[in-house]
């Protein structure tokens, strides 16, 4: 998305957030986040439920006031950027105004912006032309999301913020949605979208920022993040083996004991298995599994092996 941009476009970041913190009572939803998104970049905010993605996005949009830290959107306060029509958003929650047709609704929203896109063009871009005459109360979940996308776009914003936009869309519809998003991004827009699917982040973002427990735990290209998330786990029955020793095997990130079993969390499970079999012929019931994305995220926080399942704050 960075090709063909001139120096003026890159001089001011699309989003600049520094030292962002937000707590709800004792719960630290977002802890000291720093993130800069270049103008024209498409960034995925990836993390499990409860990671703090929505809170971060709502602070970037000026909907939630941070406890500490500052946000600038194209160099301005979020609310000023929103008022100027520079920002289009699809929030995680929200519904459509009833009693209007899709075209009427998109037209009304367009009239609120200084330089809207032609309504027909937006309906076409978002695949909602066929729904134009339909009352907004008669839409499926996926159709509603596409109309909400049209509403986010019609003001022709420079920054598009999408919070888990495909949550209500079936698998087939998702691809269409992301293709439409990609077409918009190619017009030089800055896009920030939240997702808890690694595949979506991988396929449609230039850069992936991973959040877990209110912190940014990784920030890199999709390829880099995919490699980091590719943690595999080896389990085996091994009474009496020293887990500390196993933890030092090549390819092993951490080791823990669960009764008679040992569980090795591996950066390189092939290397670990090779050494494990060579050094400990007495192992039984060996099992190698791909870690779920949730485990991979926790691993990225640096305390994956010691964390209790379901015990996250
Ligand atoms: N308005 C709120 N009041 C209290 N707790 C909240 C509120 N909003 C979010 N939280 C909590 O903050 C944490 C982060 O939530 P959220 O930002 O919605 O995460 P995500 O979008 O990654 O699922 C969660 O533990 C959530 O329950
Ligand atoms: Mg959320």
Which atom of ligand 1 is nearest the CA belonging to 30? 14
Please report the DSSP string for 92-123 in residue order: SS----TTSBHHHHHHHHHTTSSSPPPHHHHH
In this predicted model, what pLDDT tens digit does every residue of 65-107 receive, in sequence order?
Answer: 999 999 999 999 999 999 999 999 999 877 777 789 999 999 9
CATH number, position 212: 3.40.50.300
Position 5 scores a pLDDT of 44
Residue 304 pLDDT class (50, 70, 90 cuts): very low
Which atom of ligand 1 is nearest the CA belonging to 47? 22
CA of 66 to the centre of ligand 1 (A): 13
Domain end point (choices 184, 202, 227): 227
Q: Are residues 59 and 199 in the same domain?
A: yes
Q: How far are the Cα atoms of 17, 46, 47, 63, 133 from residue 60, in angstroms, in the given order?
A: 8, 16, 17, 8, 34
Which protein residues are within 6 Å of ligand 1, measured from CB?
A: 24, 27, 29, 47, 49-55
Position 296 scores a pLDDT of 66
Q: Are residues 56 and 70 in the same domain?
A: yes
Percentage of residues of the chain with pLDDT beyond 70: 89
Residue 309 pLDDT class (50, 70, 90 cuts): very low
Domain for residue 274, yes or no?
Answer: yes
**Nearest ligand to residue 30 Cα:** 1
Percentage of residues of the chain with pLDDT beyond 90: 60
Domain for residue 238, yes or no?
Answer: yes
Given strand 159-163, what is the order of strands in its sheet? 87-90, 159-163, 190-195, 42-46, 207-212, 215-220
Q: Are residues 99 and 26 in the same domain?
A: yes
CATH number, position 269: 3.30.70
Domain for residue 2, yes or no?
Answer: no
Position 198 scores a pLDDT of 84
Q: Are residues 153 and 186 in the same domain?
A: yes
Q: Which domain holds residue 241?
A: 232-290
If one counts the domains in the chain, the total is 2
Q: Are residues 143 and 190 in the same domain?
A: yes
Smallest CA separation from ligand 1 atom 11, residue: 29
Position 299 scores a pLDDT of 60
Q: Are residues 246 and 165 in the same domain?
A: no
Q: Are residues 52 and 74 in the same domain?
A: yes
Position 243 scores a pLDDT of 92
Q: Are residues 251 and 221 in the same domain?
A: no
Domain for residue 93, yes or no?
Answer: yes
The answer to whether residue 300 scores a pLDDT higher than 70 is: no
Contact 70, 19 (CB under 8 A): yes
**Nearest ligand to residue 47 Cα:** 1
Domain end point (choices 227, 249, 276): 227
Q: Which two tokens stand for residue 285?
A: 């019931």
Q: Are residues 260 and 238 in the same domain?
A: yes
The answer to whether residue 7 scores a pLDDT higher than 60 is: no
Residue to probe by mutation, ligand 1, list 28, 49, 53, 54, most atoms within 8 Å of CB:
54
CA of 211 to the centre of ligand 1 (A): 13
Domain for residue 309, yes or no?
Answer: no
Residue 297 pLDDT class (50, 70, 90 cuts): low
In this predicted model, what pLDDT tens digit does every residue of 180-219 receive, in sequence order?
Answer: 899 888 989 999 999 988 888 988 999 999 998 899 988 9
In this predicted model, what pLDDT tens digit does every residue of 235-244 receive, in sequence order?
Answer: 999 888 899 9
Domain for residue 310, yes or no?
Answer: no
Q: Are residues 189 and 246 in the same domain?
A: no
Count of alpha carbons within 13 angstroms of residue 153, beta-carbon side: 27
Which distant-in-sequence residues (6+ apart) come within 8 Å of 279 by Cβ? Answer: 249
The answer to whether residue 306 scores a pLDDT higher than 50 is: no
The most confident of the ranges 49-58, 161-170, 237-246 is: 49-58
**Average pLDDT, stretch 7-18?**
75
């Amino acid at each position: 998305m960075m090709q063909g941009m001139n120096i003026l476009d890159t001089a001011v970041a699309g989003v600049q957030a520094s030292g962002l913190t937000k707590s709800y009572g004792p719960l630290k939803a977002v802890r000291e986040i720093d993130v800069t998104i270049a103008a024209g970049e498409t960034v995925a905010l990836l993390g499990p439920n409860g990671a703090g993605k929505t809170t971060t996005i709502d602070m970037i949009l000026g909907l939630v006031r941070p406890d500490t830290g500052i946000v600038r959107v194209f160099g301005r306060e979020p609310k000023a950027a929103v008022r100027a029509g520079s920002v289009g958003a699809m929030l995680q929650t929200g519904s459509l105004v009833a009693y209007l047709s899709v075209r009427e609704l998109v037209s009304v929203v367009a009239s609120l912006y200084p330089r809207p896109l032609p309504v027909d063009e937006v309906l076409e871009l978002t695949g909602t032309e066929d729904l134009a005459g339909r009352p907004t109360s008669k839409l499926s979940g996926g159709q509603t999301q596409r109309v909400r996308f049209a509403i986010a776009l019609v003001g022709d914003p420079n920054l598009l913020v999408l919070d888990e936009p495909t949550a209500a869309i079936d698998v087939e519809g998702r691809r269409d949605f992301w293709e439409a998003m990609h077409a918009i991004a190619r017009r030089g827009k800055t896009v920030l979208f939240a997702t808890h699917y690694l595949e979506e982040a991988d396929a449609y973002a230039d850069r992936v920022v991973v959040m877990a427990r209110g912190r940014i735990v990784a920030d890199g290209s999709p390829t880099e993040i995919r490699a980091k998330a590719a943690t595999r786990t080896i389990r085996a029955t091994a009474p009496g083996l020293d887990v500390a020793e196993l933890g030092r095997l090549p390819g092993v990130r951490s080791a823990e004991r669960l009764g008679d079993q040992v569980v090795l969390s591996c950066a390189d499970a092939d290397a670990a298995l090779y050494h494990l079999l060579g050094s400990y012929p007495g192992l039984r019931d060996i099992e190698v599994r791909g870690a779920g994305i949730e485990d991979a995220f926790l691993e990225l926080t640096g305390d994956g092996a010691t964390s209790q399942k379901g015990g996250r704050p």
